Chains A and B, each alone.
Chain A
Amino acid sequence: MARELHQQTLTELAAGLESGDFSSVELTEALLARVADHDGALNAFITVTGEQALAAAKAADEARAAGKGGVLNGLPLVHKDIFCTRDVLTTCGSRMLENFVSPYNATVVDKLADAGAVVLGKTNMDEFAMGSSNETSYYGPVKNPWHLDYSPGGSSGGSAAAVAARLAPAATGTDTGGSIRQPAALTGTVGLKPTYGRVSRYGMIAFASSLDQAGVITRSSADAALLLGVMAGFDERDSTSIDHPVPDYTTALSQPVDGLRIGVVKQHFDAGLDEATGKAVREALAVLEANGAKLIDVDMPNIDLSVPTYYVVAPAECSSNLSRFDGVRFGHRADEPEDLFDLYCRSRGEGFGAEVKRRVMTGTYVLSAGYYDAYYLKAQQVRHLIADDFHKAFEEVDVIAGPTSPTPAFRLGDKVDDPITMYLNDIYTVGANLAGLPGVSTPCGFVDGLPVGLHLVGPHWGEEALIRCAHNYEQLTDWHFACPEDYS
């Protein structure tokens, strides 16, 4: 007997829709009912778009009956609330955009809709994607479905929690320093961040433009491959989009792991790594090795500087990007401003939360006259050293593997008072963003009932190697099938 609809992957659901086992309307109704039952406790959604979803599902069913419809026809998913959705509230997790109804769609939203996807709603996130725990959201923290006292990670925590709790089979996310991969690891889901420039950033609210990249959170790498094929591609409207051919990512699913060269970075297993997490990751590597992959030690002497480099570059870019929020054209506006300066300062002071203000101020400082060379320029130089470490490694290996996050999920409230401890969550993931590389996290075990992620990074445009490696690992293990008890 087929598993219940909410337990099926996108790939399975696509087959079920195609063979007429159920309709998109039935599937959408079933998932919306789960959202209604569970989201009060999880807080994974900021907006549920039930009415629009049912209308889209009906249209998809009609298209199918007429022999039409794209590759995602009738398949439900959710969007991180950082993607602009026409005529739907788009908050970016901020009070600043509490009433912002987007006048246009992000390219990612259009592409998925054109392929027939049905959008169930918009997911909660750290404010402006600045956070690693979802606790900076103006709309309250998301709870981890594996334990409601724990963080699901961030910033795409709502997307990860929705997929882990089987409220949706797939979600979009964005990753500036690990914001897809870390929450995927902490919720036992698959998170794929493509190469910088692979997926359009148009309509994706900007945090740090040289690092931001859209991707997906799913329950299998096969599903990630399916969605990436739809989302990837050149977009005239994003000046950082790169015109590079889009392969059929699903062909990577049939390639064996035999002969794949996997780099293991010495520095990724140093003191900062939780012991049990390290053990789970080493066991995952052993599984791949036993099936024909070659493990090769690689040295990345500059990788330890990734986090400080990131926390100069990302705030610098955010301080510039967030200058658009002025209380004039859209977004929050302070009451009864004394003058224009007061309008700017109070609108921004009231509209942004504490972490966003800290990052805007950090960025303002490192870009200010007298400090630019010492911080920003220096960080961009170190960024080059880090990227060179990766490029050198990829002369010898096809992918680099290690832990996604130094620990499993942590308790809500545990790290929120210390920005540095919170920032160090990103220690294994930010390198890929600094160098513009693709990365994926796939479930590889549990520590005290909380999921652990295996992190893979590939060379530029190396998504196929990541999908091949992660998919093979998923065929050899069943961690990605594990479902939190209360959501089975």
Chain B
Amino acid sequence: MCARARTGVERGRAEGVSHKKKQQEFPVSLDKDQVQQIAVLARLRLADDEFAETVDKLSRIVDFVDQLSQADTTDVVPMAHPLDVAQRLRADAVTEPNERDRFQENAPSTQDGLYLVPKVIE
């Protein structure tokens, strides 16, 4: 259910999920407006009949993961990698051939080697 009031670009700048409660507290359950905002952020259009069910199930999931708030994580470092290793960097070298035509065989809409999308600039 993407609202249609503004263009996507404007929306992208302005959007965010509204804070029902103070940031420090865990919110409990989600309401329709919040789910609507999340759907916009996630670029998902939900059919009308999907929407009520999504509000219910997402709320249950959020309530379920709320139990994490009980854990004492004082001074615990958030995990960055399961094996505690640093991200490997590769040499800055050209290794991949250009296979544009091959890749574009899977594209829904192309023209002259370009991907087609609806007009974004008037």
Q: Which residues of A contact B39 (CB under 8 A)?
A: 345, 361
CB distance from A335 to the nearest CB of B (A): 10
Query: Is the CB–CB distance between A101 and B106 below 8 Å?
Result: yes
Query: Is the CB–CB distance between B78 and A358 below 8 Å?
Result: no
Q: Which residues of A contact B23 (CB under 8 A)?
A: 370, 373-374
Q: Among the listed B45, B65, B102, which residue makes an inter-chain contact with A345, where contact means beta carbons less than 8 Å apart?
A: B45
Query: Is the CB–CB distance between A420 and B120 below 8 Å?
Result: no
* A384 sits at the interface (CB 8 A): yes
Chain A: how many interface residues by the 8 Å CB criterion? 76
* A312 sits at the interface (CB 8 A): yes
* A362 sits at the interface (CB 8 A): yes
| Cα-based distance from A326 to B108 in the complex (angstroms) | 11
Query: Is the CB–CB distance between A349 and B81 below 8 Å?
Result: no
Q: Which residues of A contact B82 (CB under 8 A)?
A: 196, 210-211, 387, 434-436
* A394 sits at the interface (CB 8 A): no
Q: Among the listed A103, A329, A344, A382, which residue makes an inter-chain contact with B115, where contact means beta carbons less than 8 Å apart?
A: A329
Interface locus among A1-9, A23-31, A42-50, A301-309 = A301-309
* A354 sits at the interface (CB 8 A): yes
Query: Is the CB–CB distance between B57 and A419 below 8 Å?
Result: yes
Instruction: Output the nearest chain A residue to B27 by Cβ-Cβ distance.
Output: A371
* B50 sits at the interface (CB 8 A): yes
B2-55 residues with Cβ-Cβ distance < 8 A to A are 2, 4, 7-8, 11, 16-17, 19, 23-24, 26-27, 30, 34-35, 38-47, 50, 53-54
B63-85 residues with Cβ-Cβ distance < 8 A to A are 64-69, 71, 73, 76-83, 85
Q: Which residues of A contact B85 (CB under 8 A)?
A: 197, 242
- For the A-B complex, the count of residue pairs with Cβ-Cβ distances under 8 Å equals 200
**Contact string against B for A residues 309-353, beta-carbon threshold 8 Å, 1 for contact and 0 otherwise:** 101100000010001001111111100011111111110111010
Query: Is the CB–CB distance between A361 and B17 below 8 Å?
Result: no
* A236 sits at the interface (CB 8 A): yes
Q: Which residues of B contact A357 (CB under 8 A)?
A: 42, 44, 46, 50, 54
CB distance from B6 to the nearest CB of A (A): 9
Query: Is the CB–CB distance between A419 and B61 below 8 Å?
Result: yes
Query: Is the CB–CB distance between B105 and A328 below 8 Å?
Result: no
| Cα-based distance from A305 to B72 in the complex (angstroms) | 12
| Cα-based distance from A99 to B105 in the complex (angstroms) | 11
**Contact string against B for A residues 94-108, beta-carbon threshold 8 Å, 1 for contact and 0 otherwise:** 000001110100000
| Cα-based distance from A261 to B99 in the complex (angstroms) | 52
* A58 sits at the interface (CB 8 A): no
Query: Is the CB–CB distance between A362 and B62 below 8 Å?
Result: yes
Q: Among the listed B64, B99, B118, which residue makes an inter-chain contact with A338, where contact means beta carbons less than 8 Å apart?
A: B118
Instruction: Output the nearest chain A residue to B20 by Cβ-Cβ distance.
Output: A370
Q: Which residues of A contact B115 (CB under 8 A)?
A: 328-329
| Cα-based distance from A330 to B38 in the complex (angstroms) | 24
Query: Is the CB–CB distance between A384 and B17 below 8 Å?
Result: no
| Cα-based distance from A383 to B56 in the complex (angstroms) | 27
| Cα-based distance from A330 to B85 in the complex (angstroms) | 33
Given contacts A103-B99, A330-B107, A360-B44, A340 and B17 within 8 Å (CB-CB):
no
| 10 tightest Cβ-Cβ pairs between the two chains A and B | A436-B82, A341-B8, A349-B45, A380-B78, A333-B108, A381-B73, A330-B106, A345-B45, A344-B43, A345-B2
Binding site for A on B (CB under 8 A): 2, 4, 7-8, 11, 16-17, 19, 23-24, 26-27, 30, 34-35, 38-47, 50, 53-54, 57-58, 60-62, 64-69, 71, 73, 76-83, 85, 87-88, 90, 99, 102-103, 105-109, 115, 117-120
23 A-B residue pairs with CB within 8 Å: A101-B106, A210-B82, A236-B90, A242-B83, A305-B67, A308-B67, A311-B64, A328-B107, A333-B108, A339-B7, A341-B2, A341-B8, A341-B11, A342-B45, A345-B40, A345-B45, A358-B57, A360-B42, A370-B19, A371-B17, A385-B76, A420-B60, A435-B82
